[in-house]
C-alpha cells in the first residue's frame, strides 16, 4: 500500500490574492502551504519581519511598528549588529491598539544575495509553527534571494503526521514583485527536487520516477520519452545495473526547445532510486541514505521544470538514467563484462560503482544522437568527493575552461558552490582492463583518487564534446537544518543549473 507523503513549501501568489500556484505535489497530491505578496503586513499576521543593519533598512517608523520604545533604542538594547541571520524579536502594538504583535527585526548585512538568502531563511525558521508571517522586503538588494531563502527554509517533507510544522503563510511586503516571483520559481523547482529525493524507495521505483518526470513534462510544456525494458537493448549499463531488481530500469528524456535557441545543452542525471551496492554490498550505515542516490536525476527534472518560466534561451535535453541497484540471483557480478551504448566494453570490478555505468550509456547516447554543444552530468557519484570537499561544496570536473568558469560563477551566485577538481591524465591508466576496453574502477582496487577516476571514466563516453561532471555526493543530502537547507534531500544543483541555463537571457 502506498505511503502518504506530504511535501510542504510556504510559497506565494499575487498581491490581490487571486488563487496562486501551490507547492510541488507529492505522488498523492498533498498540497503545500501558501502565501502572498502585498503592499503592507497582513492585519492578522502572527509575525512581521522588518530588515535592519548596515545594509538597506526599512523605515524606522510605520503604523504597524507602534512601540513605546523607539526602534533604534530597541536594537541598541539588544546589541543588534544587523548581520545576516541575526533576528531580534520584540513585542509591538497591533494596528488600532487591539493587542500585541511580535516583530522580528532581521539583519541584512551588506544586502548581497548571499546575505539576504541567509536572512530570509532565518526569519522563516523563527516563524516555524506560526500561521502567518509578513516579511518587509529591503528597499535595495536582491528580493529574489530573500524570497528563495525564506521559502526553502519553510520546506518540510513528512510521512504521515510528521512533527515538522513550518510557517503556514508568508506575505512579502514591498520589493519588486518580478524579483520575488523569480525567487519563488527557483525555490519551487528546488523543492520539487527535494520531494523526489525524500520520497521513500518503497514508493520510488524507476517507473515511479519516470511517471513524475512525465507529470512535470505535462505541467511545464516539455517533450518526454521513456525507454522501458524491451527498448533498452543498446543501453547495456542501465540494463546491467537494474537486472538484479524486481523493478525494471528505464531511461527518461525531457526536451525543452525555445524559439531560435542559441545552443543545445544536454543535462544527464543519475537516477539510482535505491543503491544496495549490488553484490558488492554496502554496510547498513552506508545504505541508510541511499534513497537519495537519484539526487542528480532529481536536479535535472526539477531544473527542466522551470526553464519555460524563465524563458531560457537555449535548447535543453534532460536525460535521467533510472535503475535500482539491488541483489538477487540475477544481479550482475564482479568480473562481468558489459557493453555500453555505442559498443565500448566495461569490466565491472565493483558493482557498487554503478552510477557511472548508467551515466555512461546516457552520455554516449547524447553524443551519438543529440549533437549537443555542451554536456553536463550531475550525480551523487563517489564518497571520495565528500571526503575531499565535505558537505558544502560540489566537485566540478570539466574539459572546457569557459564552461567550468560559468558553472562556478552560477554556483556562487545561486548559493550552491562548486570546487574545480583536476582531470589528471596520469590516472587514466588505472581504468585499463585486461579483458575489456575499460574497468569501472581502479583495477588495482586501491581506492585512491576515486572521484577523479570516476570522472575520467565518464569522460570516455562524451565524444570529446565540451563536458562538465558535477559530483554532488556531499551537498545533495543534509543531516540537519542549516540556513535554507533542510534535513534530507537538499535539491543541490537546481539553482546553479537554472542560473547557468538562463544566464544568456
- pLDDT digits over 106-156, tens only? 999 999 999 999 999 999 999 998 888 999 999 888 899 999 999 999 999
Q: Is pLDDT of 82 > 50?
A: yes
Rounded mean pLDDT, 273-289: 97
Ordered structural domains, the chain, with CATH: 5-192 (3.40.220.10), 200-502 (3.40.630.10)
Between 369 and 18, residue with greater pLDDT? 369
Give the pLDDT band of residue 168 (cuts 50, 70, 90).
Answer: confident
pTM for this prediction? 0.92
Q: What is the pLDDT of residue 210?
A: 98
- For position 249, what pLDDT does the model report? 98
Which strands form 87-93's sheet, in the order they lie side by side? 36-38, 170-173, 133-136, 47-52, 100-107, 87-93
What CA–CA distance (Å, rounded) separates 35 from 113? 22
Q: What is the mean pLDDT of residues 389-415?
A: 97
Q: Which residues are paired to 12 by β-bridges? A: none
What pLDDT score does 36 carry? 52
Query: Are 369 and 468 in contact, with CB atoms under 8 Å apart?
Result: no
Where in 299-350 does DSSP place strands (E)? 315-325, 336-339, 345-348
Is there a contact between 119 and 109 (Cβ–Cβ < 8 Å)? Answer: yes
What pLDDT sits at residue 22? 30
Choosing from 94, 128, 214, 282, which is the catalytic residue?
282
32-53 average pLDDT score: 64
Active site residue 282: yes
Task: Name the grid cell of 458.
Answer: 565518464
User: Best-predicted range by mean pLDDT among 7-21, 77-91, 283-297?
Assistant: 283-297
Least confident of 96-100, 317-321, 397-401, 448-452: 96-100
Label residue 158 exposed, middle or buried (CB < 10 Å: 0-12, 13-18, 19+): middle
Q: What is the pLDDT at residue 166?
A: 87
How does residue 66 score in pLDDT terms, banded at 50, 70 and 90? Answer: low
* pLDDT tops 80 at residue 446: no
Specify whether 130 is catalytic: no
Q: Which run of H or of E encompasses 125?
A: helix 113-126
Strand order in the sheet with 315-325: 223-227, 250-256, 315-325, 264-275, 374-379, 467-471, 394-398, 418-420
Residue-level pLDDT at 34: 37
Residue 223: the pLDDT is 98
Share of the chain above pLDDT 90, in %: 75
Whether pLDDT at 224 is above 60: yes
CA-CA-CA-CA dihedral for 183, 112, 41, 79, to nearest 10: 150
**pLDDT, position 59:** 47
Q: Which of 158-167, 200-209, 389-398 has the lowest mean pLDDT?
A: 158-167
Is the per-residue pLDDT at 89 higher than 80?
yes
Q: What is the mean pLDDT of the chain?
A: 88
Q: Which of 194, 291, 315, 356 is catalytic?
A: 356
Amino acid at each position: 500500500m502506498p505511503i502518504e507523503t506530504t511535501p510542504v513549501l510556504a510559497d506565494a501568489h499575487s498581491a490581490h490574492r487571486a488563487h496562486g500556484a501551490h507547492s510541488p505535489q507529492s505522488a498523492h497530491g498533498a498540497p503545500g502551504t501558501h502565501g502572498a505578496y502585498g503592499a503592507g503586513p497582513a492585519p492578522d499576521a502572527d509575525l512581521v519581519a522588518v530588515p535592519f543593519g548596515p545594509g538597506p533598512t526599512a523605515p524606522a517608523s510605520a503604523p504597524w511598528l507602534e512601540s513605546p520604545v523607539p526602534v533604534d533604542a530597541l536594537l541598541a538594547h539588544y546589541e543588534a549588529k544587523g548581520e545576516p541571520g541575526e533576528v531580534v524579536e520584540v513585542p509591538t502594538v497591533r494596528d488600532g491598539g487591539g493587542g500585541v504583535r511580535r516583530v522580528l527585526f532581521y539583519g541584512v548585512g551588506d544586502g548581497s544575495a548571499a546575505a539576504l538568502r541567509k536572512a530570509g531563511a532565518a526569519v522563516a525558521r523563527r516563524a516555524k509553527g506560526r500561521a502567518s508571517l509578513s516579511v518587509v522586503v529591503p528597499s535595495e538588494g536582491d528580493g529574489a534571494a530573500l524570497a528563495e531563502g525564506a521559502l526553502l527554509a519553510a520546506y518540510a517533507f513528512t510521512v504521515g503526521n510528521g512533527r515538522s510544522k513550518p510557517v503556514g503563510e508568508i506575505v512579502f511586503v514591498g520589493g519588486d514583485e518580478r524579483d520575488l516571483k523569480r525567487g519563488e520559481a527557483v525555490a519551487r523547482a528546488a523543492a520539487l527536487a527535494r520531494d523526489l529525493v525524500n520520497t521513500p524507495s518503497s514508493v520510488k521505483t524507476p517507473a515511479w520516477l519516470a511517471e513524475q518526470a512525465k507529470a512535470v513534462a505535462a505541467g511545464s510544456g516539455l517533450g518526454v520519452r521513456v525507454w522501458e525494458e524491451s527498448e533498452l537493448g543498446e543501453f547495456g549499463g542501465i540494463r546491467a545495473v537494474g537486472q538484479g531488481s524486481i523493478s525494471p530500469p528505464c531511461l527518461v528524456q525531457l526536451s525543452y526547445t525555445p524559439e531560435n535557441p542559441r545552443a543545445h545543452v544536454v543535462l544527464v542525471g543519475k537516477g539510482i532510486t535505491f543503491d544496495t551496492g549490488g553484490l558488492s554490498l554496502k554496510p547498513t550505515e552506508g545504505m541508510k541514505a541511499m534513497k537519495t542516490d537519484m539526487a542528480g536525476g532529481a536536479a535535472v527534472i526539477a531544473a527542466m521544470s522551470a526553464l519555460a518560466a524563465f524563458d531560457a534561451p537555449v535548447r535543453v535535453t534532460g536525460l535521467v538514467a533510472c535503475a535500482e541497484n539491488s541483489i538477487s540471483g540475477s544481479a550482475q557480478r564482479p568480473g562481468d563484462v558489459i557493453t555500453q551504448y555505442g559498443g565500448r566494453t566495461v569490466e565491472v570490478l565493483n558493482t557498487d560503482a554503478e552510477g557511472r555505468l548508467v551515466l555512461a550509456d546516457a552520455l554516449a547516447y547524447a553524443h551519438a544522437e543529440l549533437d549537443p554543444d555542451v554536456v553536463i552530468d550531475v550525480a551523487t557519484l563517489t564518497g571520495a568527493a565528500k571526503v575531499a570537499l565535505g558537505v558544502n561544496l560540489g566537485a566540478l570536473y570539466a574539459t572546457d575552461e569557459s564552461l567550468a568558469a560559468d558553472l562556478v560563477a552560477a554556483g556562487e551566485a545561486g548559493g550552491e558552490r562548486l570546487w574545480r577538481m583536476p582531470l589528471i591524465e596520469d590516472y587514466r591508466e588505472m581504468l585499463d582492463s585486461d579483458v575489456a576496453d575499460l574497468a569501472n574502477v581502479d583495477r588495482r582496487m586501491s581506492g585512491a583518487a576515486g572521484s577523479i577516476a570516476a570522472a575520467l571514466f565518464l569522460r570516455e563516453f562524451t565524444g570529446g564534446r565540451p563536458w562538465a561532471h558535477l559530483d554532488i555526493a556531499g551537498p545533495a543530502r543534509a543531516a540537519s537544518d542549516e540556513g535554507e537547507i533542510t534535513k534530507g534531500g537538499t535539491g543541490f544543483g537546481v539553482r546553479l543549473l537554472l542560473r547557468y541555463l538562463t544566464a544568456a537571457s
